[in-house]
Amino acid sequence: MNVLRTIALILSLGFLSSILFYKIRELRNLSIIASLSVALGFVIKFFGIYTGIKRAFSYKDLFYFKFDAFSNFFVVLILGVGLLAILASWNYMKEKKGETFFYVFFMLTILGMVGLVYSRDMLSFFIGWEVMTMGSFLVILQSNEKDRFKFALRYFIISLIGAYSLLWSMFIIYNKVHSFKFSAFNSSVFTKGELTTLLITISIGFLIKAAIMPFHTWASGAYSRSPLTFTAFFSGAMSKMGIYGLFIFLYGSIGLSAIYKTGYNEFFQTSYFQYTLVWLGVITAFLGTLRAILSEDIRVMLAYSSVGQLGYMLIGIGLGSTLGLTATLFHVVTHGLFKTSLFIVVAAIIHRTGKTKFHELGGLINNMPIAFIATLISIITLAGIPPLGGFATKWLLYEAMIEKRMFFATAITMLASIGAFLYAYRLIQNLFLGQRKLEHDDVKPAPLTMQIAMLIPALGMVFLGFFPNLLIKYTNLFIELINIDFFKLGVKVTDTAFTNSYGYWNAFYLGSAVVIIFIVSTIYYNLQRRAKIYKIGQLDIYTAGEYVTRETPLNYSFNFYGFIFDSLKPAIKYSVTNFITRISKEFIALSDFVRRIYTGNGQHYAIFTMIFTIITLIYFLS
């Protein structure tokens, strides 16, 4: 039995049923969910099994697919997040304008992604890549936002640039090695200059998909204007395709030795190219965080947060050491979990209230307790506070950077993660805590499917917090699998304790200590015999003696970190988005000028032709 064919069959069936039953909601959704879960179960079943099954698939030596643990890792992420997103969409997309086509294009995107993850040649990789881009572009158009065209188009155009950059580099490779297969790549036939160009063009293609600064300009618009359950998938799984591509191209096919050939820095034990990647990641992490802190729209904040988090992953890739790659893979999982959960929470809130700005919300904790718990766990993970899963990434990443002696970069990355704490707090404060608005008194809890979809990742995060070693056992496997020079300074994992030459951390002991201390504190807290805790009303707060009403705006939420904004105002003016906007304006002006040449008047064309002929003649005759 061929595993790949089976998976393709199951997913194609799901895709077809989404087209066939596009009018019948229950049938369509159930068949999609069934196909995704069967495929997911299938992948998980054969996750580490490579014997007794046929796991490669090729067609005329042109398309080549392979079923291996590394791809499976990403496929599980794609299918899992996809499943959750579709589950959440059941209620979220209900009776929305674009509901019918949403699922078709969603499935198309998933199909493309699974295809590109399993592909082991450039051609099928590129086809999968384009299907994914196209599908996601079409999904964005299914949302109800008025300005979706503008942002979808921006996303599409920038993605196209990335795709062409990728295509170009593929042609260069084919020109030299005469094969599209990854395994056929041979770095010795390239010169140093060619390799450098290749690395740059390939990276641009993938960095655009991962929304790394300065290629992030599409991200905030596309993330915030798509149907939000799709954004959960977009940010949770799809943005990682850039990371996957970098993995597979840089360390899978091109290989470290080829990268080192382009220039090697003894001090940092890394090539200049990788060093650039690290700093791009650092800058992205920092500036993305800063933008997230200062945004007023929930969706935009999460979008910039995604940009920042992708920066961490790029750092790990740039480091190229075992520890760094482990950190990246770990973060791919944790980010997938918490971003999915958060976007679904936000989708639920927007679904129930119709509000998207922070200052229009507040005090929803009693209306949506499950969403609150999911958010709480997600933001603790996001901020990387022990004992939940997020801290493992942070620890691995910092130790990896310190190991490579990139101390400045470490400092700024750590600062960025502190910044994440700031916006994470705002996320929970302005949505769930504080005073509830009068019009939100009878907001119902999130729909059941969404509650399930937001709680499952939360459980995953708690589990990863206590047993990060289980995941790392696998990631170590992949890293060996994709043939990286195994560095001596690897992370040593014994049970739940992590040790490397610089530091150590024991997840399980720390986690259990926190739990034990929590239990003891709770007992101590409730020891007092006479203690009666009275629950008082929402408005019974200190307002300097004044009496307030429900109409009084008592939530502090707009311009929450106004201090930072005021302090950094001069610097914030210069953003890449503004730069691009200006360039596009200039471009329009240029086009305007060009339009003047093409007036449509035959006589003008005649004159131009004459002038051109004369100049050419003069040039050749002289």
Partner 1 sequence: MKTTKLYLGPQHPGITGNMMIELDVEGNKILKSKTHVGYLHRGFEKLMERRTYIQSFPIVCRICVPEPDVNENNYARAVEKLSGLEVPERAKWIRTMVLEMARLQSYLLWMGGQSGSMGLYTMPQWTIGDRDYLLDRFEELTGGRVYHLYVWPGGVRKDLPIGFKTRMLDLMDYLESRMKDYTKLMFENAIFKKRAIGTGVIPKDKALEWGVVGPVLRGTGIKHDVRIDEPYEIYDKLEFEVPTYEGGDIYSRALVRKFEFMQSISIIRQIMDKIPEGPIYNRIPNPFKWKIPKGYTYVKLESSRGEFGYFMASDGSEKLRRVNVRGPAYVHGISLLEKILPGSRLGDVSTILNSLGVCPPEMER
Partner 2 sequence: MSTDSMYRLLVTIAVILGSIIYGFFINSLARRITARVQNRMGPPLKQPFIDVIKLYSKRTFVTHGIMQTLGPILMLTGIISTLILIPYGKGYLTLYSSNGDLITILYIMTFGQLAMALAVGQAGNPYGTIGVARGLTRMFGYELPLILALISLIALNHSADVNVIIANQHGGIANWNAFRHPFVGITALLAMLGMMSYQPFDNASAPAEVASGPITEFGGKFMAIMMTTNAMFVVAKLALLVDLFFGGASNIFILALKIFLLYLYPLFVGLVFPRFAMEDTFLFFWKWPTLIGFIGLAIAIF
Partner 3 sequence: MDDLKRPTLDSDFTCDMAFNKITKWAQKNSLWLLAYGTGCGAIELSPTMTSRYDWSRLGIRGSATPRQADLLLITGYLSTKTLKRVIRSYEQMQDPKYVIGFGSCTINGGMYYDSYNTIKQLDLYIPVDVYINGCMPRPEAVLSGLAYLKDKIGDKKADGWIKYKQNFEWYRENQKKILKSFNGDNMPDKYNW
The residues of the shown chain that bind partner 3, judged by CB under 8 A, are 530, 534, 536-537, 540, 542, 545-549
Q: Rule CB under 8 A: which of 359-398 touch partner 1?
A: 359
Of the pair 229, 500, the CB lying nearest partner 2 is at 500
CA atoms of 400 and 379, how far apart (whole Å)? 24
The binder of partner 2 chosen from 395, 466, 467, 478 (CB under 8 A): 395
Compute, in degrees rounded to 10, the torsion defined by CA atoms 428, 434, 437, 440. 50
By CB under 8 A, the residues from 497 to 516 that bind partner 2 are 497, 501-506, 509-510, 513-514
Write down the least CB distance from residue 537 to partner 3, Å.
7
Q: Using CB under 8 A, which of the segments 45-53, 424-432, 459-467, 594-602 binds partner 2?
A: 424-432
What's phi and psi for 551, nearest 5 deg? -75, -20
Q: How many CA atoms lie within 13 A of 112 on its CB side?
A: 22
Residues 39, 11: contact at Cβ < 8 Å?
A: yes
CA dist 40 and 38 (Å) reads 5
> Which does residue 101 touch among partner 3, partner 2, partner 1, none (CB within 5 to 8 A, set by kind)?
none
Q: Report in angstroms how near the CB of residue 555 gets to partner 3 at its nearest.
A: 18
Q: At what angle do helices 69-92 and 322-353 cross, to 10 degrees?
A: 10
**Closest separation in Å from C-beta 577 to partner 1:** 22
Chosen residue from 408, 558, 608, 612 binding partner 2 by CB under 8 A: 408
Out of 494, 525, 547, 619, which residue is the one contacting partner 2 (CB under 8 A)? 525
Stretch that binds partner 1, among 170-178, 224-232, 469-477, 560-568 (CB under 8 A): 560-568
Least distance to partner 3, CB of residue 544, Å: 8
Backbone phi, then psi, for 215, in 5-degree steps? -105, 25
- Does 573 sit near partner 2 (CB under 8 A)? no
| Beta carbons within 8 Å of 163's beta carbon, 6+ residues apart | 126, 129, 130, 133, 205
For 358, phi then psi, to 5°, come to -60, -40
Residue 611 touches which of partner 1, partner 3, partner 2, none (Cβ within 5-8 Å per kind): none
Q: Which of 23, 60, 488, 530 binds partner 2 (CB under 8 A)?
A: 530
Give φ, ψ of 457 to 5 degrees.
-60, -35
Choices 45-53, 128-136, 552-560, 605-613; region in contact with partner 2 by CB under 8 A: 552-560
Nearer to partner 3, 148 or 437 (CB): 437
With CB under 5 to 8 Å by kind, the binding choice for 558 among partner 3, partner 2, partner 1, none is: partner 1
What's the closest the beta carbon of residue 383 comes to partner 3, in angstroms?
Answer: 28
Expressed in angstroms, the distance from the first to the final Cα of the chain is 73
CB of 335 to partner 2, least distance (A): 17
Would you list the DSSP string of 205-261? Answer: HHHHHTT-TTS-TTHHHHHHHS-HHHHHHIIIIITHHHHHHHIIIIIIII-HHHHHH
Q: Which span sits near partner 1 by CB under 8 A: 39-47, 306-314, 384-392, 542-550?
A: 542-550
- Which is closer to partner 1, CB of 180 or CB of 560? 560
Is 492 a binder of partner 2 (CB under 8 A)? no
The three-class DSSP label of residue 461 is helix
Strands (E), 310-451: none
Using CB under 8 A as the binding rule, the residues of this chain from 563 to 592 that contact partner 1 are 563, 565-566
Token pair of 374, please?
């999911």
**Which of partner 1, partner 2, partner 3, none does residue 359 bind (CB under 5 to 8 Å by kind)?**
partner 1
Based on the shown chain and the rule CB under 8 A, indicate whether residue 541 belongs to the binding site for partner 1.
no
In the Cβ-directed half-sphere of 468, how many Cα atoms lie within 13 Å?
A: 33
Residue 456 CB partners (closer than 8 Å, separation 6+): 84
Q: Where along the sequence are the contacts to partner 1 (CB under 8 A)?
A: 359, 543-546, 548, 552-560, 562-563, 565-566
